Amino acid sequence: GGGGGTVAGAAAAAVEEVSSAGQFEELLRLKMNEVTAELAKEHPQVSFVKLEAEGVPEVSEKYEIGSVPTFLFFNNSQKIDRLDGAHIPELTRKRHASSGSFPPSTDEHLKDLNLRLQKLTHAAPCMLFMKGTPQEPLCGFSKQMVRQGLKAYSNWPTYPQLYVSGELIGGLDIIKELHASEELETTCPKAPKLEERLKVLTNEASMMLFMKGNKQEAKCGFRKQILEILNSTGGEYETFDILDEGVRQGLKDYSNWPTYPQLYVKGELVGGLDIVKELKDNGELLPILRGEN
């Protein structure tokens, strides 16, 4: 099995029942361990080393390990490739890493990180990057890649970092100075009420789709289906990632619609996937998207 799908074994193998996400993750981890153990047997000329990501945070930071499992491939002590995620077929394809047959990895990983950081620094009018959260100011492994990347992105070596409208203001000393001079209140715009913010978001484009992820990431499931329908209409639309901006529950209450994706036209809720499909089948979708109904 890889990042999704069914884990297939020998013909006589029984289907293993999974009752929780934690149990599934553990099963997947065991399967990945089995695969790497088999690869190690088949290729004794290759050294296989296993590290716990949280146990060696220095290594995780150095190689920008943002998720587990991640596989790094080295040749003559130089990293030549990487694989993020439990993709067994891809891992098997890359098994000859020590032969030097792989080209250096591209800059796509760094580009994706910079895009994510740009989006994060603009996620709210006033954004504070710190270890943990205001309620739980602790350090966590899952934030390591952002922590290290943001230092390079902002050219500011320490935390906390305060951004206003996506622009770096500075760290604690500067924040204290602004507070002492009573400039902080005018520097940081007051946060709008959630309802006002949701009204603005739903009207950001004439057609707005709220979903998990974005157009480029939606490769399966409900998201793919609704994007295919919207693409077939030829109309222009924008998507909003509900996981990035903390509006996931608020928008459900605002729209009185319990699930995602949600499609809005000129700020008005059209509905979710089922309604969009029904409207398309009835020939009513295009007139609604054009504002004719």
Asked whether residue 1 is assigned to any structural domain, the reply reads: no
Q: Assess whether pLDDT exceeds 90 at residue 208.
A: yes
The last residue of one of the domains, among 61, 94, 127, is 94
Q: Assess whether pLDDT exceeds 70 at residue 101.
A: no
Answer whether 280's CB lies under 8 Å from 262's CB: no
The vertex-155 CA angle with 162 and 103, nearest 5°, equals 125
Q: Structurally, how many domains does the chain consist of?
A: 3
Residues 111-148: pLDDT tens digits? 777 787 888 887 777 788 776 665 554 444 445 657 77
Share of the chain above pLDDT 90, in %: 12
Residues 204 and 277 reside in one and the same domain:
yes
Asked whether residue 102 is assigned to any structural domain, the reply reads: no
Q: Average pLDDT of the chain?
A: 77
CA dihedral 89, 95, 97, 103 (to 10 degrees): -30
Asked whether residue 141 is assigned to any structural domain, the reply reads: yes
Q: Assess whether pLDDT exceeds 70 at residue 109.
A: no
Answer whether 227's CB lies under 8 Å from 218's CB: yes
The predicted model gives 34-57 an average pLDDT of: 79
CATH number, domain of 160, equals 3.40.30.10
Supply the pLDDT for residue 145. 59
Supply the pLDDT for residue 265. 93
* Residues 66, 69: Cα–Cα separation, whole Å: 9
Helices and strands in the chain, H and E counts? 12, 9
Q: Both tokens of residue 188? A: 């940081």
The predicted model gives 227-242 an average pLDDT of: 89
Q: Assess whether pLDDT exceeds 80 at residue 71.
A: yes
Report CA Rg, the chain. Answer: 24
Asked whether residue 2 is assigned to any structural domain, the reply reads: no
Residues 84 and 145 reside in one and the same domain:
no
The last residue of one of the domains, among 131, 159, 187, is 187
Residues 143 and 223 reside in one and the same domain:
no
Find the helix or strand (DSSP H, E) in which 177 lies. Answer: helix 172-180
Residues 210 and 153 reside in one and the same domain:
no
Share of the chain above pLDDT 70, in %: 77
Residues 226 and 246 reside in one and the same domain:
yes
The predicted model gives 195-212 an average pLDDT of: 90
Domain carrying residue 158: 109-187
The band of 103, judged by pLDDT with boundaries at 50, 70 and 90, is: very low
Supply the pLDDT for residue 264. 95
The band of 28, judged by pLDDT with boundaries at 50, 70 and 90, is: confident
The last residue of one of the domains, among 67, 94, 121, is 94
The band of 153, judged by pLDDT with boundaries at 50, 70 and 90, is: confident
The band of 185, judged by pLDDT with boundaries at 50, 70 and 90, is: confident
Supply the pLDDT for residue 263. 94
Residues 85 and 36 reside in one and the same domain:
yes
Q: Which residues contact 167 (CB under 8 A, 6 or more apart)?
A: none
